[in-house]
Structure 1
Amino acid sequence: MDANELRREPVNVRDIIDEARVSRFQIMIGLLCFLIVALDGFDIAIIGFIAPHVRSDWNLSVMALGPLFSAGLLGLMLGAFLSGPLADRIGRRGVLILSVAWFGAACLASAAAPDIVWLVALRFLTGFGLGGAMPNAITLTSEFSPERRRGTLLTLMFCGFSLGSALGGVVTAYLVAKFGWRGVLIIGGLLPLMLVPVLWLALPESVRFLALGKGNEMHIAAILKRVAPDRAAAEQRYFASDERASASPVRRLFDPDYRRGTLLLWLAFFMSLLLLYMLINWLPILGARSGLSLKQASVFAGLLQGGGVLGAIVLGVMIDRFDAYKVVSAAYLIGAAAVASLAVAGSAWWLAACIFLTGFCVSGSQVCANVIASGFYPTSSRATGVAWALGVGRIGAIAGSFGGALMLSAGWSNAALYLILAVPATLSAAGIFFAGARRARIRAASSGADAALDMPGTEMGS
């Protein structure tokens, strides 16, 4: 096919990205999104590290800290619900940059909070911005990643969140001694604000989103020349394979083709984050109740996070090679067995191994569930699909945080808690597995143009 004929035939932007080698430009996009989610993790984590100092300065009760923790989670949930549809309407880039600027400014303002009421309100606003950043970073990275490497690239990007959370503890320990807890919030606000101009200059709009509109050929060609210079031309016409009219991105989630899968993904996200946040918040206390020292309990809590990082990377590679839904559902089931095994752990080594395996399978699977969600929906509703799944997951996180307190207050034993926590992991496995089965039935019944839709599984090696 000569150049003139090429320009006459519309080109699917997804095919260009999928067929090209991963370029430095795509790596740069992944790195920028890595930094965004790292700052996201940092800002989420620091409130837990500075809480004891806030309590001491203002003479607060332990109960008074509850709203401080939950305000951020509530903001995360609402930010996710609102940012997704907005990004599917106006683009990923603008919403992502605005979200980073928003949570940076809100965190910086938190440093000047005169009392707990103001601090809670500003933590809610910080969470609102954070809730918009995460799903759009996932969506943008996904839409610039070739299908054969999407799982690996997305999970590596998402490891920034764990790195940022870990740095939150290190930075807090150093800064609190010199500048107090307000100094930590100042750093947490300045870092994202410093990143905003870099994002403005370097971060592109998703070409798959641009291809859904009209008159964007030159813009698309300019971006694609940095991905695959030999395939892009200003005179070329481009399209997205899943271009199709829809009343709204939210309604698209409940189209007949997606309704059941949406609800199954929501089940998986809700249960997975319920389990993770219950363990993250209460594992040190459960360890202390088992007779561990506070130092040992903290180390074991770190094993959960470390297992999650390794699990995300290993499972990310696996979902690029095998059926993503089967890999993730199997990992959740192994995680269910691991967390249930904590009930009968007879030694510190066995306990540590079970905690690490729980993090590897459950936390690692949650990262891969984000990859699945990013591939489950078409471009016109992808940001909404990812954001709303995360938003529902945040409801589960809130439930997990409060549920642990209720069960401990009711006198539940550690063994009973660990056994009951196997249930959410099992339900997450079921949600992912049956969402995959639903997708397979839809693809089997599809033909012609419908078979070319950006359905889940094809971009993750299934």
Structure 2
Amino acid sequence: MSSPSASLDVQSFLDRHPFSAFQWRIFALSFLVVLLDGFDTSAIGYIAPSLASEWGASKMALAPVLSAALFGLAAGALLAGPLADRLGRKRVLVGAVLVFGLGCLASAFSQNMPQLVGLRFVTGLGLGAAMPNAVTLMSEYCPSHRRATITNTMFCGFPLGAALGGFLAAWMIPHLGWRSVLVLGGIAPLALVLLMATLLPESARYMVAKKYATERIRAVLRRISESAAQARAFTLTEAGPAPVDGSGGGLALVLSPRYLVGSAMLWIAYFMGLVIFYAMINWMPILFREANVPPQTATVISALFALGGVGAIFFGWLMDRFNANLVIATGYALTAVSVYLIGQSLGSLAALVLTVLLGGTLMNTAQSSMPALAAAFYPTQGRATGIAWMLGLGRFGGIAGSFLVAELASRQLGFAQIFAVLAVPALIATVALLVKQVVHPHAADADRGAGAVAGH
């Protein structure tokens, strides 16, 4: 900084300085949000066999319970994205975690199926609002050359939370009952709310875009480096095409001609990925149990599918160095092969474990990389909405996946046939990202190029 009156570009500032303890704090809190999101989202799938036994519910009767949170997830994400672009990332994120904590805790005391369906919907509202804002806030504190790696690492919290839910459920349900899983899923987020309210900052990029007071922006950036103290003004460099003057932000930007095709392809790919994820995570324990796999073994094997998402760290590294669209498209293509192979592995427990872990690694790695891809695609004015709408519309894929397996089972399709059908959405996701690459050939690499500058 050459003089006290110099202006400071926020992204250049983040790129120049080492990843600070302050940024690691943001990472840790965002990671915990996503971890608990994964735990609460998947918890219902792990307790489904117990619900079927205790309440005498059929597979078709379980479908509304399994999908109720997904309707809430979709609604929460679709509403929270525009709200966060208007009101701020932190305010919406803290409120979202509070809602899903209270909803999950209340779900533990449900006395019948309609009550549980209603409370799972409320839980889903908070879950749906939390995820996109955690991703957005973290991505806006990342240096450009490490954004995909850091964001993907944070997003690994979701499959890890889902896997943790499976491992804990395998122990807790026999000893403490299925309600204990929901109690834990409610208390932990409420404790996190207290930490977030005091330790989590607002996004510096958002504050510049919304023309917050210079003193407030400076105070936040000084936590990263004292060199920010010399800045008298702040500017904002956007990766990729800047929004057209007068086009506004939020949903208007996401649906503008410049972004529409890319947005639609992101929605399709994420939708198809969640068809697979929720079909597998909700129904694998039941399908394995019906295939004469012992219940506790079935739960642990199913949890391996979610655990595979840690591979997203490697994909993040690849995305920071190569074309992100093609990296993720390759992941989805390999997912199609691996999901098909799960259906062919029932005769051998070792083969079943291996294919489930392989399928989970590939599928969750590709799916967990999508928010980073969306974060790089949109500018600050529409980033929260762009990510949230991809996640929100994608949740309908989760709803479809939950009902799809129930429908396939009712048509008497066998184990291998069901998994063959579940491989198809991965192929569709592959094609969607290839189309995005053709229409927006430079968007996946935009973070490494120059962008338009907004001033404050």
Cα 1:184–1:77 change in 2 (3 A) is same
What is the rounded CA distance, in whole Å, between the counterparts of 2:352 and 2:185 in structure 1? Answer: 34
1:206 aligns with 2:207: no
1:187 is matched with 184
What is the rounded CA distance, in whole Å, between the counterparts of 1:297 and 1:170 in structure 2? Answer: 11
Cα 1:215–1:414 change in 2 (3 A) is closer
Greater relative contact order, per chain length (Cα 8 Å cut-off, separation 6+): 2
The question of whether the paired residues in 1 share the 8 Å contact of 2:89 and 2:137 is answered with yes
> Structure 1 length as normaliser, TM-score?
0.88
Shift of 1:413: 3.0
Cα 1:16–1:379 change in 2 (3 A) is same
**Mapping for residues 42-191 of structure 1, pairs under 5 Å:** 42-54=39-51, 58=55, 60-172=57-169, 175-176=172-173, 180-191=177-188
1:384 is matched with 385
Which deviates the most, 360-369 or 300-309? 300-309
Q: Does the residue aligned with 2:96 lie in a helix, a strand or coil?
A: helix
Q: Does the residue aligned with 1:238 lie in a helix, a strand or coil?
A: strand
2:417 is matched with 416
What is the rounded CA distance, in whole Å, between the counterparts of 1:171 and 1:182 in structure 2? Answer: 12
Q: Does the residue aligned with 2:227 lie in a helix, a strand or coil?
A: coil
What is the rounded CA distance, in whole Å, between the counterparts of 1:196 and 1:206 in structure 2? Answer: 17
The question of whether the paired residues in 2 share the 8 Å contact of 1:443 and 1:451 is answered with no
Letter in structure 1 aligned against 2:451: A
**Mapping for residues 341-360 of structure 1, pairs under 5 Å:** 341-342=341-342, 344-345=344-345, 347-360=348-361
Which deviates the most, 341-350 or 328-337? 341-350
1:324 is matched with 324
Shift of 1:237: 3.2
Q: Does the residue aligned with 2:183 lie in a helix, a strand or coil?
A: helix
Shift of 1:433: 2.4
The question of whether the paired residues in 1 share the 8 Å contact of 2:94 and 2:197 is answered with yes
> Structure 2 length as normaliser, TM-score?
0.89
Gaps of 5+ in 1: 455-462
2:374 is matched with 373
The question of whether the paired residues in 2 share the 8 Å contact of 1:208 and 1:240 is answered with no
1:357-395 per-residue CA deviation (whole Å, 9 max, x = no partner) reads 222221110001111011111111111111110111110
1:265 is matched with 266
What is the rounded CA distance, in whole Å, between the counterparts of 2:286 and 2:194 in structure 1? Answer: 42
Which deviates the most, 49-58 or 278-287? 49-58
2:338 is matched with 338
Cα 1:453–1:278 change in 2 (3 A) is farther
What is the rounded CA distance, in whole Å, between the counterparts of 1:443 and 1:163 in structure 2? Answer: 26
The question of whether the paired residues in 1 share the 8 Å contact of 2:305 and 2:361 is answered with yes
Cα 1:170–1:281 change in 2 (3 A) is closer
What is the rounded CA distance, in whole Å, between the counterparts of 2:167 and 2:359 in structure 1? Answer: 24
1:438 is matched with 439
1:26 aligns with 2:23: yes
Shift of 1:291: 6.1
Shift of 1:260: 0.5
The question of whether the paired residues in 1 share the 8 Å contact of 2:73 and 2:129 is answered with yes
What is the rounded CA distance, in whole Å, between the counterparts of 2:365 and 2:88 in structure 1? Answer: 29
2:451 is matched with 452
Which deviates the most, 67-76 or 107-116? 107-116
Q: Does the residue aligned with 2:201 lie in a helix, a strand or coil?
A: coil
How many pairs were matched up? 446
Q: Does the residue aligned with 1:278 lie in a helix, a strand or coil?
A: helix
What is the rounded CA distance, in whole Å, between the counterparts of 2:178 and 2:21 in structure 1? Answer: 39
Gaps of 5+ in 2: none
Shift of 1:339: 2.4
1:457 is matched with none
Shift of 1:143: 0.7
What is the rounded CA distance, in whole Å, between the counterparts of 1:382 and 1:332 in structure 2? Answer: 24
Q: Does the residue aligned with 1:221 lie in a helix, a strand or coil?
A: helix
The question of whether the paired residues in 1 share the 8 Å contact of 2:309 and 2:361 is answered with yes
The question of whether the paired residues in 1 share the 8 Å contact of 2:100 and 2:124 is answered with yes
Cα 1:359–1:212 change in 2 (3 A) is same
1:252 is matched with 253
The question of whether the paired residues in 2 share the 8 Å contact of 1:218 and 1:234 is answered with no
Q: Does the residue aligned with 1:230 lie in a helix, a strand or coil?
A: helix
Letter in structure 1 aligned against 2:428: L
The question of whether the paired residues in 2 share the 8 Å contact of 1:265 and 1:432 is answered with yes
The question of whether the paired residues in 1 share the 8 Å contact of 2:45 and 2:282 is answered with no
Shift of 1:397: 0.8
The question of whether the paired residues in 1 share the 8 Å contact of 2:301 and 2:353 is answered with yes
Cα 1:423–1:409 change in 2 (3 A) is same
The question of whether the paired residues in 2 share the 8 Å contact of 1:135 and 1:383 is answered with yes
